[in-house]
Amino acid sequence: MYAIVKVGGKQHKVSAGDKLKVEKLGQEPGATVEWPALLVVDGDQIMVHGEGKEAMVTAKVLGDGQLKKVLVFHKKRRKQYKKIYGHRQPFTQVEILGISKD
CB atoms within 10 A of CB 3: 27
**39-51 pLDDT, tens digit each:** 999 888 888 887 7
- 39 is in which domain, residue-wise? 2-101
Higher pLDDT, 56 or 52: 56
Return phi, psi of residue 65, to 5°.
-170, -170
pTM of the full predicted structure? 0.82
Tally of domains within the chain: 1
| Spatial contact of 90 and 12, defined as CB atoms under 8 Å apart | no
Cα–Cα distance between 46 and 44 in angstroms, integer? 7
pLDDT of residue 57: 96
Exposed (0-12), middle (13-18) or buried (19+): which is 41, by Cβ within 10 Å? Answer: middle
